[in-house]
């Protein structure tokens, strides 16, 4: 089970929760399980083809998963996955 940190703009879709524990052996599986638990998140994270939207940045620790194996990056128990928004305003 990985721990995924939800950024402020998405917390309205997770009943206000900032951290969730989600099953999955890869980043992609964790995200799929996440959006099954919270369906309103899906359109914010995936496009209509089921691909990650281009601005969705995911980190495991300090590492951007795009620099690892993307959504195929393996996830260990208790890994912390950060879902990072872009920076708004000024």
Partner 1 sequence: MEVQTPSTLFQTGILSPPVTTGSLEAFVGNTPLVLLRRVTAHLPAAVQVFAKAEWFNPGGSIKDRPALNILRVALAEGKLGKGKRLLDSTSGNMGIAYATFGAALGIPVTLVVPANASPERIAILKALGAELILSDPSEGSDGAIRIARQLAVEYPERYYYANQYDNPANWQAHYCTTGPEIFHQTRGCVTHLVAGLGTSGTLIGAGRYLREVSSKVQLVAVQPSSPFHGLEGLKHMPTAIRPGIFDESLIDLTIPVETEEAYQMVRRLAKEEGLFVGISAGAAAVGAIRVAERLESGVVVTIFPDAGYKYLSEKALWGFQDPVSS
Q: Give the interface with partner 1 as residue ranges (CB under 8 A).
A: 5-10, 12, 18, 43-45, 47, 53-55, 57, 66, 82-90
Q: 14 with 90: CB under 8 angstroms? A: no
Cβ-based neighbours of 44, under 8 Å, separated by 6 or more? 10, 13, 53
For partner 1, the closer CB: 25 or 63: 63
For partner 1, the closer CB: 4 or 75: 4
In whole angstroms, how close is the CB of 78 to partner 1 at the nearest point? 18
């Amino acid at each position: 089970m990985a721990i995924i940190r939800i950024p402020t703009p998405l917390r309205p879709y997770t009943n206000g929760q900032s951290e969730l524990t989600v099953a999955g052996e890869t980043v992609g599986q964790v995200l799929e399980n996440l959006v099954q638990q919270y369906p309103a998140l899906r359109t914010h994270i995936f496009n209509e083809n089921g691909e990650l939207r281009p601005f969705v940045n995911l980190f495991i620790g300090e590492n951007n998963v795009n620099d690892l194996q993307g959504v195929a990056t393996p996830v260990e128990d208790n890994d912390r996955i950060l879902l990072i928004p872009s920076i708004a305003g000024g």
